[in-house]
Amino acid sequence: MERQTILQGRVLITPLTAFLIALLGFPLLLDLVYSVSRVGFENIRAPELSGLGNYAKALADPEFWAAAWFSLRFGVIVASIQVVAGLMLAIFLAPLFAARPWLIAFLMLPMMVAPALVGLMYRLILHEFVGAVPYYLLEWYGDFPAFLGRQWVFTTLVVIETLQWTPFALLILHSAYAAISPDVREAAALDGATGFRQLVSIDLPLMLPAIGVTAFIRFIDSFRVFDNIYTLVGSGAGGSTTSMSIYIYQAFFKVGDIGLAVAASMLLLAASFVVLWTINRLTARRDPA
């Protein structure tokens, strides 16, 4: 019996495994070769092995670190704002959603739009002469910030990313909030905990796992941001909006330094595995307790 289930299990996971190997096996192998080669578009078929030079070059490149820092900062800030905004909306609007669940559909819509198109849309909306945002700010306040100028571009990108993905945080936190049993709250109310105190002492602690997961997912997605930044401002004045993904894209296509681009990708891959592995270990250790 035991042997049979092992065999059956293997048969069942074979199609998926085969698909992943077929689609990613060769690319991964080729990436590994490229990352230790001197390779550009001119010798894409005949890379010259050159050792770990590309890795050293990436690690010594201040722009690599600037891009990593950009992505990290962007991811952390955006994830934090989204969680806080999503949490506030989820709790404040909970009575509305409880009575009319379909209302939440309208708040979910931003997630359905392709990020690449969102970037293009803002190119239109923020333009001084054809866009609605500068038009109204000028009308009401007589001035508006240079949204995509050096001083404001980071803020603008944060706002754009936040507006598109706060709905995600809202959705998850809303269901976490709705899942808290009324009994728990009633018991708390009997103890005299109402309003804000109930929120802090009962609701938030119960929602903590959901908050953590939401923050983590939003961070991962925002860390590897590409589509919307690329279609809106490219890599920005002086490379000021170069995220990690844009750094790799630039090194790859614009500079044609394929070895460097792939080495940077491999470093990123390794880093993400370390982070995920650590998280897996931490949660695995916590589970039995």
Site for another protein, residues 223 to 282, rule: CB under 8 A: 224, 226-227, 231-240, 244-245, 248-250, 252-256, 258, 262, 265-266, 268-269, 272-273, 275-277, 280
| Residue placing its CB nearer to another protein in the complex, 28 or 52 | 28
Q: Is 226 helix (H, G, I), strand (E, B) or coil?
A: coil
Total of chain residues touching another protein, rule CB under 8 A? 133
Q: How far is the CB of 218 from another protein (least distance, A)?
A: 10
Q: How far is the CB of 51 from another protein (least distance, A)?
A: 20
| x-marked contacts with another protein along 91-130 as a string, rule CB under 8 A | -xxxxx-x--xxxxxxxxxxxxxxxxxx-xxxxxxxxxxx
| Residue placing its CB nearer to another protein in the complex, 81 or 134 | 134
| Residue placing its CB nearer to another protein in the complex, 53 or 110 | 110
Continuous segment of H or E residues that includes residue 286: helix 258-286
| Residues 15-74 within binding reach of another protein (CB under 8 A) | 15-17, 19-31, 41-42, 44-45
How far is Cα 243 from Cα 154, in angstroms, rounded to an integer?
Answer: 11
Q: Is 26 helix (H, G, I), strand (E, B) or coil?
A: helix
Read off the amino acid at residue 281.
R
Would you say 116 and 227 are in contact if contact means Cβ atoms under 8 Å apart?
Answer: yes
How far is Cα 243 from Cα 235, in angstroms, rounded to an integer?
Answer: 8
**What contacts 98, CB < 8 A, 6 or more positions away?**
178
| Residues 187-226 within binding reach of another protein (CB under 8 A) | 189, 194-195, 198, 209-210, 213-214, 217, 220, 224, 226
CA dihedral 234, 239, 241, 246 (to 10 degrees): 60
| Residue placing its CB nearer to another protein in the complex, 75 or 77 | 75
Continuous segment of H or E residues that includes residue 86: helix 62-92
Q: Does 184 bind another protein (CB under 8 A)?
A: no
Q: How far is the CB of 289 from another protein (least distance, A)?
A: 19
Q: Is 194 helix (H, G, I), strand (E, B) or coil?
A: coil
